[in-house]
């Protein structure tokens, strides 16, 4: 692999984020999600004691779930071990439910810590559970930068909720 040195980019990279308003001032979507009057309003699948499960509003595929602690923290080390255990239990359950509902060929489970790692909302830790199919990064995704999600969030919510 070739390495292209581009040190002038470091000032640009460092400027990203600093120019944005303080994210602490904005209402956090993951903190506000459990306040939804009805679970369907925010596609809540399950409310646990320390964490909850919702549909990703911007799914990479049908059935894209998020497991989120109620606590607004950015790092795993800031959660107690009871919360760690419940998150793991919810990931295990989520995997089983998605397997049952969608019968995918694979499942991604993971968290992106920090914006540089790909976190869209890096202030509030969340885990993704994502059903995968071989060649699901298809022509439209690769060439058109457009994802094809055949199922509506309402349909996904009804199916997953019933299986949960």
Known catalytic residues are 126
Q: Smaller CB distance to Zn ion: residue 93 or 124?
A: 124
CB of 31 to Zn ion, least distance (A): 3
Find the angle CA(120)-CA(123)-CA(124) to the nearest 5 degrees.
Answer: 90
Q: Smaller CB distance to Zn ion: residue 30 or 102?
A: 30
- Is-contact 98 54, C-beta < 8 A? no
DSSP state of 21: P
Q: How many residues of this chain interact with Zn ion, rule: CB under 5 A? A: 5
Q: Smaller CB distance to Zn ion: residue 30 or 52?
A: 30
DSSP state of 149: -
Out of 42, 64, 93, 124, the residue judged to bind Zn ion by CB under 5 A: 124
Out of 34, 50, 72, 109, the residue judged to bind Zn ion by CB under 5 A: 72
- Is-contact 71 95, C-beta < 8 A? no
Q: Smaller CB distance to Zn ion: residue 72 or 147?
A: 72
Residues 18-37 that bind Zn ion (CB under 5 A): 28, 30-31
Strands (DSSP E) found in 63-113: 65-69, 106-110
**Site map 78..117 versus Zn ion, x via CB under 5 A:** ----------------------------------------
Stretch that binds Zn ion, among 7-15, 65-73, 83-91, 132-140 (CB under 5 A): 65-73
- Is-contact 128 109, C-beta < 8 A? yes
- Is-contact 73 84, C-beta < 8 A? no
Residues 6+ apart with CB under 8 A from 126: 30, 66, 67, 68, 111
Footprint of Zn ion (CB under 5 A)? 28, 30-31, 72, 124
């Amino acid at each position: 692999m070739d390495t292209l040195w581009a040190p002038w980019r470091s000032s640009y990279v460092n400027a990203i984020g600093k120019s944005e308003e303080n994210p602490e001032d904005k209402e956090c979507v993951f903190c506000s999600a459990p306040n939804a009057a009805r679970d369907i309003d925010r596609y809540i699948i399950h409310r646990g004691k320390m964490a909850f499960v919702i549909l990703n509003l911007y799914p990479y595929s049908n059935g894209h779930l998020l497991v989120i602690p109620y606590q607004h923290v950015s790092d795993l080390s800031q959660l107690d071990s009871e919360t760690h255990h419940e998150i793991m239990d919810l990931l295990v359950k989520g995997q089983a439910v998605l397997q049952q509902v969608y019968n995918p060929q694979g499942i991604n489970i993971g968290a992106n810590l920090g914006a540089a790692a790909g976190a869209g909302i890096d202030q509030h830790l969340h885990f993704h559970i994502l059903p995968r199919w071989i060649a699901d990064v298809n022509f439209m995704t690769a060439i058109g930068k457009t994802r094809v999600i055949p199922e509506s969030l309402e349909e996904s919510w009804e199916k997953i909720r019933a299986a949960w």
